[in-house]
Amino acid sequence: MTEPLLLIDTADGIRTLRINRPDKLNALNAGVIDALDAAFADAGRDPAVRVVVLTGAGPKAFVAGADIAEMHTLSPAHGRDFSLRGTRMMRRIEKLPKPVIAMINGFALGGGLELAMSCHLRIAADTAKLGQPEINLGLIPGFGGSQRLLRLCGRAATLELCLTGAPITAERALQLGIVNRVVPAAELEAETGKLAAQLAAAAPLALRGMLDCVNIGGECGLEEGLEYESAQFGLMFATHDMREGTAAFLEKRKPAFTGT
């Protein structure tokens, strides 16, 4: 029986997606890309899901890159199609109205780093290695690596990572702003679970509004971004969760958010 490409588990509002190709270091092929695209579309629609955690199976890799064996024989047109396929999937993650946490348990190289960067937050094991080594294959990043790195850590670091292809440690990635947190490998799942639980307990509509503000603000001018934030802020006053949150604060109790 063929193993599923993606292992899916949901508990307490947290959906965990685990790429399941440990023998290939969870390399991204067309099948994995399509499975991730469908899984994130479903997570976005499912009201029972408040947070998504994305990781890789096995102890060695989050995702060690795109599947080189699959790419080796592609024509220029098929190469572009493969790039667009992965880019569309990662853009879906980036635009998901629910927080997505990349739990980086090992190598996040090439397409793996690109996948992690499309997530909203990134927690890495202290043993993880990250990088964009496509230059060593006669390639450039194809799933948005140059663009997301540029926005996360600036021009100089982006050029260094992409031109040399050299991997960096999790600590260096933290210094550059590529990951949010670095934790001991043995504590990665527990620490990621704590953050996911914190987000799952927050007001879902406020989370969505915040994600929208950052996504829109990152792609427009300051004045437009400020106007969009004010509009979203006003919309929160139409929600039950805003009344519940403010009432709970005044009454010195924990709020119970419902997503309405």
SS3 content of the chain, % helix, strand, coil (to 5): 55, 15, 30
What residues are paired with 182 via a beta bridge? 124
Give me the helices (H) in the chain, please.
Answer: 30-45, 68-71, 76-94, 111-118, 145-164, 170-176, 188-200, 204-217, 222-236, 240-250
Sheet holding 6-11, edge to edge: 6-11, 14-19, 51-56, 100-104, 121-125, 181-183
Active site residues: 114, 134
Name the phi and psi angles at 156, rounded to 5. Answer: -65, -50
**Residue among 98, 71, 99 at smallest CA distance from 85:** 71
Cα dihedral 62, 68, 69, 75 sign: positive
User: Rounded to whole angstroms, how far apart are CA atoms 219 and 28?
Assistant: 27
Which residues, at least 6 apart from 165, have a Cβ–Cβ distance to it below 8 Å? 131, 132, 133, 134, 135, 136
Name the phi and psi angles at 3, rounded to 5. Answer: -70, 140
- 260 and 240 in contact (C-beta within 8 Å)? yes
- 244 and 134 in contact (C-beta within 8 Å)? no
